[in-house]
Amino acid sequence: MSNYDYVIVGAGAAGLLLAHTLGNDSFFSEKSILVIDKSDKTENDRTWCFWEKGSGDFDALLHKAWKDIYFSGRDFELSSSISPYTYKMLRGTDFYQHFVRKVKAYSNITWVQDEVVQLNESKQAVKVTTQRTIFFGKQVFSSWLDMEAVRKHKHYPLLQQHFMGWFLKTDKPVFNPSEATFMDFSVPQKGNTRFMYVLPFSENEALVEYTLFSEELLEQSAYEYEIKAYIKQKLKDSDYEILEREHGSIPMTCYPFHNSNSNRIFHIGIAGGWAKPSTGFTFYNTHKQIGRLVHHLKKNKPLYRLYKKHKFWFYDLLLLDILYKQNYLGSSIFESLFKKRKPQLILKFLEEETSVWEDLKIISACPKWPFIAALWNRIF
Ligand SMILES: Cc1cc2nc3c(=O)[nH]c(=O)nc-3n(C[C@H](O)[C@H](O)[C@H](O)COP(=O)(O)OP(=O)(O)OC[C@H]3O[C@@H](n4cnc5c(N)ncnc54)[C@H](O)[C@@H]3O)c2cc1C
């Protein structure tokens, strides 16, 4: 069969969660669903971290969870509990294994490994052309990201959150497994916003990740140089081996991704603008957005109504405007925040759950002039 009610292009975080939610709900049991991904999803290509209160839907799959976090700036450091939140880590491979198996088992879902090369929408359906064949879908959910369109759009600055991480095993017990390093800005900033993440699994094992929020990517050797320097400083005379590596780049932009949605094509995941522009955190928001999307489908509400411009979009826009022009200011902005406000409030704000009163507390903890100048420039 080549005609489907729903076609899901891309079985990553968003596509798999959507396919599983539809497959698992008897409301959709009469719908024929096709999932297409160019990869077989067997590679451990990423690690997802997110925070939530108490237990959650991914707990059985977690690799590790922390109740304490560490933050370091140039002149300030903090070790703190984040209760009632827990910082959680999920390995891509565990997520893929679990959800691919489930999705392939639903009788109304067909799985095809192929690359989509074109989507053509007509009044009746979307023609989905892959490398090998053609399918038709009444509704397409696509996580196929068109970065060219994002780059061309000049109204919103585009930064990247780019990073390289090494999974290390050391010969001495050098890590504190009960505390995750959320951001360590003590590394040389070199005119950018640069920090380290450290996610320790035991006293001997951790993911050490060098991260930048900046416009241009670095040469691979530059990330490696900085990770080595950090390890030398932090791990002192411990020897280590690199068990695995990961690297990636997440667009940081307030670009209106929803503008490329149409009657029959709806973008999901990063392609749908579900990455938080100012931090790149996407996973937990994707989980939330899939819930909203499926609710809309069940109520037969138009999908364009899912998008709402909100205050957090504007806060993110101001921060990105600042970092685009004065990229070196990132460390002082985050340092000022963590110095003056509790991590719980900062996490709540980054999760976009704060009230206006709480927003004001966050805003008043940031250096004022860069934000006033950014606001002025946006208005005038
Ligand atoms: C290394 C890494 C670490 C990250 N860590 C975090 C984190 O800690 N926390 C967080 O919140 N976010 C994180 N992110 C960001 C974000 O959560 C992930 O990128 C997430 O996987 C995005 O989900 P997605 O479904 O939009 O895209 P993806 O998961 O990338 O899925 C897209 C899928 O579409 C397929 N595809 C693409 N084009 C085609 C095509 N033409 N035809 C067929 N298939 C296609 C791909 O093979 C892929 O399977 C990380 C990203 C990376 C790269």
Q: Assign residue 300 the CATH number of its domain.
A: 3.50.50.60
Give the distance from CA 215 to its chain's centroid.
17
Is the separation of the CB atoms in 119 and 127 below 8 Å?
A: yes
Is the same domain home to 30 and 108? yes
Q: Which of 50, 250, 352 to mutate to test the pocket of ligand 1 (most atoms within 8 A of CB)?
A: 250
> Would 103 be classed as within a structural domain?
yes
- Does the pLDDT value for residue 158 go beyond 70? yes
pLDDT at 307: 87
289 C-beta closer than 6 A to ligand 1: no
Residue 110: φ, ψ to 5°: -110, 135
Please give the DSSP secondary-structure letter assigned to residue 73: -
Residues 130 and 201 in one domain: no
> How far are the Cα atoms of 129, 141, 179 from residue 95, in angstroms, in the given order?
28, 20, 23
Question: Does the CB atom of residue 13 touch ligand 1 within 6 A?
Answer: yes
Q: How far apart are the first and last CA of the chain?
A: 55
Q: How far is the CA of 243 from the centre of ligand 1 (A)?
A: 22
Query: How many Å lie between the centroid of ligand 1 and the Cα of residue 10?
Result: 9
What's the mean per-residue pLDDT of the chain? 96
Q: Is residue 243 situated within a structural domain?
A: yes
Q: What is the CATH number of the domain that holds 239?
A: 3.30.9.10
Mutate to test the pocket of ligand 1, among 46, 96, 289, 347 (most ligand atoms within 8 A of CB): 46
CA of 248 to the centre of ligand 1 (A): 9
In terms of residue numbers, what domain contains 339?
311-379
237, pLDDT greater than 80: no
* 155 band by pLDDT with thresholds 50, 70 and 90: confident
Considering the domain architecture, whether residues 8 and 123 belong to the same structural domain is answered as yes
Q: Which of the listed residues 306, 323, 339 is the one where a domain comes to its end?
A: 306
Tell the burial category of 363 from Cβ atoms under 10 Å away from its Cβ (0-12, 13-18, 19+).
Answer: middle
Q: Calculate mean pLDDT across residues 31-40.
A: 97
Both structure tokens of 113: 């490994």
- For residue 287, the CA-to-ligand 1 centroid distance in Å is 13
> Does residue 375 fall inside a structural domain?
yes
Q: How far is residue 101's CA from residue 45's CA, in Å, rounded to a whole number?
A: 18
- Ligand 1 atom nearest residue 117's Cα: 41
Q: Is the backbone peptide bond immediately before 177 cis, with ω within 30 degrees of 0?
A: no
Tally Cβ neighbours within 10 Å of residue 29.
12
Least confident of 233-242, 277-286, 290-299, 334-343: 233-242
Is ligand 1 within 6 A of the CB of residue 197? no
Domain membership flag for residue 57: no
Asked whether residue 130 falls in the same domain as residue 238, the answer is no
| Same domain, residue pair 248 and 343 | no
Taking alpha carbons only, the member of 49, 11, 6 closest to residue 25 is: 6
Q: Are residues 98 and 128 located together in one domain of the fold?
A: yes
Q: pLDDT digit string (tens) for 69-104?
A: 999 998 899 999 999 999 999 999 999 999 999 999
Total structural domains in the chain? Answer: 3
Q: Rounded CA gap, 163 and 26, in Å?
A: 41
| Cβ(36) – ligand 1 distance below 6 Å | yes
Q: Is residue 79 domain-resident? A: no
Handedness of CA 232, 235, 238, 244 (dihedral sign): negative
Tell me the mean pLDDT in the region 164-170: 97
pLDDT at site 368: 93
Domain boundary among 214, 234, 252: 252
Residues 298, 319 within the same domain = no
Interval between CA 162 and ligand 1 midpoint (Å): 13
Task: Return the bridge partners of 9, or none.
Answer: 36, 142
Q: What is the mean pLDDT of residues 165-189?
A: 96
DSSP letters, 249-296, are EEEE----GGGG--SSEEE-GGGGT-S-TTT---HHHHHHHHHHHHHH
Q: Is 92 in the pocket of ligand 1 (CB under 6 A)?
A: no
pLDDT tier for residue 1 given thresholds of 50, 70 and 90:
low
Confidence at residue 331, expressed as pLDDT on a 0 to 100 scale: 97
Q: Does 330 share its domain with 266?
A: no
Q: 219 and 285 share a domain?
A: no
State mean pLDDT over 244-260: 95
From 38, 91, 213, 289, mutation site for ligand 1 pocket: most ligand atoms within 8 A of C-beta: 38
Atom nearest to 11 CA in ligand 1: 49
Is the CB of 180 inside a 6 Å radius of any atom of ligand 1?
A: no
> Is residue 358's pLDDT more than 80?
yes
Residues written for the chain: 380
Predicted TM-score of the model (pTM): 0.96
Residue 119 located in a structural domain: yes
Q: 317 CA distance to ligand 1 centroid (A)?
A: 23
Same domain, 124 and 18: yes
**Does the pLDDT value for residue 332 go beyond 70?**
yes
Q: Ligand 1: which residue has its CA nearest to atom 44?
A: 37
Which of 52-56, 163-167, 236-240, 288-292 shows the lowest mean pLDDT across its residues? 236-240
Sorting pLDDT into bands at 50, 70 and 90, what band is 149? confident
pLDDT of residue 380: 84
Q: Which helix (H) or strand (E) holds 153?
A: none
Is there a domain that residue 144 lies in? yes
Query: Which among 252, 274, 293 is the end of a domain?
Result: 252
Query: Does 153 have pLDDT greater than 90?
Result: no
The answer to the question of residue 39 being in a domain is yes
201-216 residue pLDDT tens: 999 999 999 999 999 9
248 in the same domain as 196: yes
Q: What is the pLDDT of residue 167?
A: 97
Ligand 1 in reach of 96 Cβ (< 6 A): no
Same structural domain for residues 259 and 245? no
For residue 60, give the amino acid letter.
A
Residue 161 forms beta bridges with which residues? 213, 250
